[in-house]
A and B are shown apart, each in its own frame.
Chain A
């Protein structure tokens, strides 16, 4: 397998400009002759489908939800970064680029990140133009706030619902095209297979989740924008339906999977209450702007109510360890610090797995009204879930799986190792390295969808003849359809005793324990033994009632869990092979004396891209070396 990143030549500031000029264009009259499939309707998929249709391509868009407006991008709370420098505080494209490369712990591609920083400003313009109601100041201009890991105010936000508003903007643009007839929307459709002919992506096979119909859709290019695979961990801040099926099918058809072990554990989530827990809820990182994180200094204080622990007996550990960033330290660092104090026996709450996020000082300083204005909806949400009033008692928080930086390998054009298959947003691997900074996911999803793919896909399509799509009778199409219906039949045929959720939960426990915030060789090897056992049990003892010809949520879940059981294994394998600590990937064997991540730039300054070699075969690890010419490799310091 060849990993050609196709990074354009020239100085970093000129690469994207030059590349846009070098890309071939498709004749406007020819555009409608090309058909593009977009799988996923979140920020990346929705934006791509709308933008490609605006350009004149024939677009079909698919989502498993009942409406494209429900993609999980909607749940992002905090904000979106852009280098507008509206606040005159020294921000610039270069600084956003620098912060993102550094935040990613030097495991992202410089050229991609620079492009991301460049288009960040266009995104804000675009969204405002669509009617996204960003927060404004009294003068009518846009407001900004600072966000985890940045020392400038570059985060644009719409209350605590930024993801929702950006998604609705993209959704409305998409629905406009649906109304104009240029996009055909398939809601409640799940992609189950990629159709590849002579090594080139030519279409997909979907299952209609209402009628059970298995159908192929043929096109000139396929874009996957299906989000991350973090639900492999079972408990995560992802929506229940988020899954890795589409990218896993593509991986099995030849798309390399890059850095699968790079998962982000978000530091501020509501702690688990019991075995019934079905998902974890995030509390926006923006809360860390005004909230102070602490645990008791003494173990014996952990059982006491927070109000009875005097100021001197509190350990504001982030402020203590990272004085210059304090509570705003990047996510991987804040999460790991929380784990450390809990491992130390100083966690709070019934389970001992929690730390306080305290607003007392901010309420005293700014007044409860100001705090309510800024975070009212988040406080309400917290109270609804926990039955505790965060204005009076500190919030209890704990880290939870939140995002996957890893994903399908793509080149500078966002094309995977399968020609014709493009991967956008969280589903690809390219921009965040080993740790994603707050407010960067929305930026990347929209950058890919609005401002990258519309250019780069043209360069690909210009190279193929209009009307050269394969026919429905093609044996590859028939084989793909057969594969999907066989798999559905196989799942029903097991007819065992256990529910799909049972296996998902089992997998999650293994993943969280051995491939979560802290990883080590022994644990990962153990996980690599346990996961195949769970998988074997799954294929022996699964039960799915009902039929495949109606809505069948157990069948949907079972199909996803079957894939998680394979993805989890690859995540552990990748974590085992990456013998260094970087960003969210913390190998306990590689840490400094102070417990900070210890990178090994000599041996691991690269992207690990895994190639599928067939069922039961060990995948092969390929390497794309990373070079840092503009941001010099350095140990991250947030002290």
Chain B
């Protein structure tokens, strides 16, 4: 099309599906984000059982494995895997689109309103994805755990964090989770269209509060093990 002559293929444009559209994929991002943030929040609350000692923690693990006659955990896992898969798919395709949208960058771009957290979402996301894989291999399947005991999650937990490098990686990953949540928890409400000036302050507050709570509590586990508070 010549630069100056405009024409438009309105009828063709209408064939655009929800998942193919940018906003549709943003909605998928946000909806799966809620599931994942919900999960990390529940996960954080569940893990506070660690402070009750081996009995409480192992009892909690057993409950997870036996609820709904053992089907519960698989339902959970299926939902989480789908959510994570869709989240990663949406993030990847949107990121590709976004990179293609500005093939030539600026010599001197100044960032005014964006935050470090918002600009590093894709990196914190990638690190989190890597961490999740490691975390599953470490404390769920035990594949990368040197002395894994299927019958004693509490022992796995304590001995796992005894290794400073492992504890360090967990802490770094939690900070990434913090960054991801700092922007993500606020951002999903925007993507889902939940915005009203009256509640906007509340949205921000909720995002920051939840981030501090989840990350703050999660970080105490490796630290508690390293310092011998949990043993």
Contacts and interface: CB of A to CB of B under 8 A. Distances in A.
Choose among B2, B6, B7, B8 the residue with the greatest number of A CB atoms under 10 Å from its CB: B6
Contacts of B6: 178, 185, 187
Interface in A538-576: none
Minimum-distance CB pairs A-B, first 8: A188-B4, A179-B8, A179-B10, A185-B6, A187-B4, A210-B3, A210-B4, A186-B4
B4 A184 contact: no
Interface in A176-214: 178-181, 184-189, 208-211
Contact of B5 (A180, A181, A185, A209): A185
Given A184-B7, A209-B4, 13 more contacts: A178-B6, A178-B7, A179-B8, A184-B5, A185-B5, A185-B6, A186-B4, A187-B4, A187-B6, A188-B3, A188-B4, A208-B4, A210-B4
| Band of interface residues on B | under 10
A293 B168 CA distance: 72
B7 A180 contact: no
Nearest to A188: B4
23 contacts: A178-B6, A178-B7, A178-B8, A179-B8, A179-B10, A180-B10, A181-B7, A184-B5, A184-B7, A185-B5, A185-B6, A186-B4, A186-B5, A187-B4, A187-B6, A188-B3, A188-B4, A208-B4, A209-B4, A210-B3, A210-B4, A211-B2, A211-B3
A186 B5 CA distance: 5
Interface string A157-183: 000000000000000000000111100
Contacts of A211: 2-3
A45 to B, nearest CB: 16
Interface residues of A, number: 14
Choose among B2, B3, B4, B10 the residue with the greatest number of A CB atoms under 10 Å from its CB: B4
Interface string B1-17: 01111111010000000
Nearest to A176: B10
Interface in B1-43: 2-8, 10
A180 B8 CA distance: 8
Nearest to A66: B4
A35 B5 CA distance: 17
For chain A, what secondary structure do more than half of its interface residues adopt (helix, strand, loop), or is it mixed? mixed
Contacts of B2: 211
Contacts of B7: 178, 181, 184
Contacts of A188: 3-4
A189 B8 contact: no
A225 B144 CA distance: 76
Nearest to B6: A185
Contacts of B8: 178-179
Nearest to B4: A188
A186 B6 CA distance: 7
A177 to B, nearest CB: 11
Contacts of A208: 4
Nearest to B3: A210
A179 B10 CA distance: 6
Contacts of A210: 3-4
B142 to A, nearest CB: 61
Interface string A206-227: 0011110000000000000000
Nearest to B10: A179
B44 to A, nearest CB: 47
A179 B2 CA distance: 16
B94 to A, nearest CB: 27
B1 to A, nearest CB: 12
Nearest to B8: A179
A550 to B, nearest CB: 12
A187 B3 CA distance: 9
Nearest to B13: A179
Contacts of A180: 10
A209 B3 CA distance: 10
Interface string A33-51: 0000000000000000000
A346 B81 CA distance: 80
A194 to B, nearest CB: 20
A480 B161 CA distance: 86
A210 B4 CA distance: 8
B161 to A, nearest CB: 58
B4 A189 contact: yes
A609 B8 CA distance: 43
A186 B3 CA distance: 9
Interface in A382-396: none
Contacts of A187: 4, 6
Contacts of A185: 5-6
Contacts of B4: 186-189, 208-210
A619 B5 CA distance: 38
Nearest to A63: B4
A187 B4 CA distance: 5
A185 B7 CA distance: 8
A189 B2 CA distance: 12
A627 B8 CA distance: 50
B26 to A, nearest CB: 25
A181 B8 CA distance: 8
Contacts of B10: 179-180
Contacts of B5: 184-186
B7 to A, nearest CB: 7
B11 to A, nearest CB: 10
Contacts of A181: 7
Interface in B170-191: none
A506 to B, nearest CB: 33
A496 B51 CA distance: 88
A453 to B, nearest CB: 23
Nearest to B5: A186
Contacts of A179: 8, 10
A499 B48 CA distance: 77
A461 to B, nearest CB: 25
B48 to A, nearest CB: 52
A187 B5 CA distance: 7
A192 to B, nearest CB: 15
B14 to A, nearest CB: 11
A387 to B, nearest CB: 23
Interface string A324-354: 0000000000000000000000000000000
A84 B78 CA distance: 65
A204 to B, nearest CB: 15
B13 to A, nearest CB: 9
A209 B2 CA distance: 12
